[in-house]
Amino acid sequence: MIIALDHVAIAVPDLQEAIRRFAEDLGLELAGTEDVEAAQTSTAFLPVTGTRIELIHPLRGQGPVATWLEKRGGGGLHHLCFRTDDLDADVVRLKERGYRFVTEAPTPGAHGTRVIFIHPKSAGGVLIELAEHPADGHP
């Protein structure tokens, strides 16, 4: 079951410049950064009450976010992520309703999460991530 808006992800061609914008100019707190090998991204997290902004940048200049930035010709809103307390049950339920996913099975995300993306063609052009945090999900 979906329990929260986990984060809003913004793809950025220059991570340091984007951190300056969100932390210094807009005044959000930079909570940390993490390289997520499975997603080939360098990521920065800036919490805002109840959710957070996640800046995503290609790790070593490669991967799906690099392709996205090239196709789009710059940065922009990349995806929404909903937090779920039972990722596997939500995947089954959504597959039954005809939703397609970017990968067959969940993959490792930041903060020890398990994540999966609903294909934007299944969701009105919006890339939607579902994430299960270790504290919420089953062991």
Catalytic residue annotation: 129
Residue 9 as a binder of Co ion (CB under 5 A): the answer is: yes
In the range 101-130, which residues lie near Co ion by CB under 5 A?
129
Binding to Co ion, residues 65-84 (CB under 5 A): 81
Query: Which stretch, 8-16, 26-34, 60-68, 97-105, contacts Co ion (CB under 5 A)?
Result: 8-16
- The one segment of 4-12, 44-52, 86-94, 96-104 that binds Co ion by CB under 5 A: 4-12
Q: Verify binding: residue 132, Co ion, rule CB under 5 A.
A: no
Do 116 and 105 touch, CB atoms closer than 8 A?
A: yes
Positive or negative: CA dihedral 41, 48, 93, 86: positive
Please, which of residues 27-66 interact with Co ion by CB under 5 A? none
Q: Which is nearer to Co ion, 11 or 94 (CB)?
A: 11
Size of interface with Co ion, in residues (CB under 5 A): 3
**Of 90 and 98, CB closest to Co ion:** 90
Other beta carbons within 10 angstroms of residue 94's beta carbon come to 18
**What is 78-127 written as a DSSP string?**
EEEEEEES-HHHHHHHHHHTT--BSSSS-EE-GGG-EEEEE-GGGTTT--
Exposed, middle or buried by CB within 10 Å (0-12, 13-18, 19+), for 101? middle
Per CB under 5 A, residues contacting Co ion are: 9, 81, 129
